[in-house]
Amino acid sequence: MPSSRRIVSLSSLLVLLFFLLGCNALNPLCGSTRPVPVLSSISPTGMLLSQLPPSFVLTVTGSQFVSSSVVVFNGATLPTSVTSSPQLTVTITSSMIPAPGAFKVLVQTPAGNSGNLGCSSGGKSSTLTLSVT
């Protein structure tokens, strides 16, 4: 009987340890987590409203993008193409830019399926601005 108590205590201790460690190399339960995206630049960074085409491609460059990462343009999640691991593209239409202003761009990666195991997953990048004058 004492050995079964030790096994239960050891397994409880391991679960607590994994929860406290969070998602890192020591926690094998965090294998399905996704990194927080890092946004470095956008192109173009500015446009003239009078010269705005009906649509254009916005290129987003950064790191830690995965296939499920999406670009959020001024609060709207857009269909996103992963052109390479550090680069995403989206199509912006003129209807999304009704007037001059500063339009916020960020990258969002949804959480993986790690559940509640003390693992962080996914998240939002910092924000950059497309200026339209």
Predicted confidence (pLDDT) per residue in 67-112, tens digit:
889 999 999 999 999 888 799 999 999 999 999 999 999 999 887 6
What Cα–Cα distance (Å) separates residue 104 from each residue in 14, 121, 129?
Answer: 43, 23, 5
pLDDT higher than 90, residue 60? yes
In a domain, 6, yes or no: no
In a domain, 3, yes or no: no
In a domain, 67, yes or no: yes
Q: How many domains is the chain built from?
A: 1
Question: Among candidates 19, 16, 112, 125, which has minimal Cα distance to 72?
Answer: 125
The domain that holds 121 is classified in CATH as: 2.60.40.10
Joined tokens for residue 99: 């007037």
Residues 72 and 24: their CA atoms lie apart, in Å, by 28
Residues 104 and 60: their CA atoms lie apart, in Å, by 12
In a domain, 21, yes or no: no
According to the model, what pLDDT value does residue 15 have?
55
Q: Give backbone dihedrals phi and psi of 60, rounded to 5 degrees, phi first.
A: -115, 125
- Band (pLDDT 50/70/90 cuts) for residue 16 is low
According to the model, what pLDDT value does residue 122 have?
76
Residues 116 and 127: their CA atoms lie apart, in Å, by 28
Range of the domain at 37: 31-132
Question: What DSSP assignment string belongs to 64-102?
Answer: S--TT-EEEETTEEE--EEEETTEEEEEEEGGG--SSEE
pLDDT higher than 50, residue 114? no
